């Protein structure tokens, strides 16, 4: 018995069931944006360029090791760019590339979703 392939509407483009729902580009984007600490760093950089210490202050829970690693990963992914101004002292500043700035709506939407759905509910004993 032959059945017609189901067509689903995903991101305003029809996708046939046999094509799969998650293309490699979406998978890559989800890995970048979904990696721990990346959304927070991108959100801070959406306000403008920042130095390492400012990023650490804005996201205090991140360790120095992870902050450095995430900045390198975001730079390799083309999301963040690093500029170095000769000193003394040498000043290093991080800013979003065009691709990073393109994430503004995604990050803003995530923030709105968080305010609406990810709030901590008071515990039963606190009610």
pLDDT per residue over 81-111, tens digit each?
999 999 889 999 999 999 999 999 999 999 9
**In the chain, which ranges are continuous DSSP H helix?**
24-34, 38-46, 52-58, 64-76, 98-101, 104-117
Per the structure, how many domains does the chain have?
A: 1
Say if 21 falls within a structural domain: no
Domain enclosing residue 68, as ranges: 36-118
pLDDT at 7: 44
pLDDT per residue over 57-88, tens digit each?
999 999 999 999 999 999 999 999 999 999 88
The pTM assigned to this predicted structure is 0.77
CATH number at residue 105: 1.10.10.10
For tokens 């390492």, name the residue.
52
Q: What is the mean pLDDT of the chain?
A: 86
């Amino acid at each position: 018995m032959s059945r017609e392939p189901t067509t689903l509407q995903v991101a305003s483009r029809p996708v046939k069931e046999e094509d799969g729902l998650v293309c490699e580009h979406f998978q890559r984007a989800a890995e970048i944006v979904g990696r721990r600490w990346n959304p927070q760093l991108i959100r801070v950089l959406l306000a403008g360029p920042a130095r390492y210490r400012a990023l650490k202050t804005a996201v205090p829970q991140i360790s120095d090791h992870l902050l450095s690693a995430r900045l390198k990963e975001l730079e390799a992914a083309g999301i963040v760019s690093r500029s170095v101004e000769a000193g003394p002292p040498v000043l290093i500043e991080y800013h979003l590339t065009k691709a990073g700035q393109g994430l503004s709506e995604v990050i803003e939407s995530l923030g709105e979703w968080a305010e609406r759905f990810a709030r901590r509910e008071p515990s039963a004993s606190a009610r």
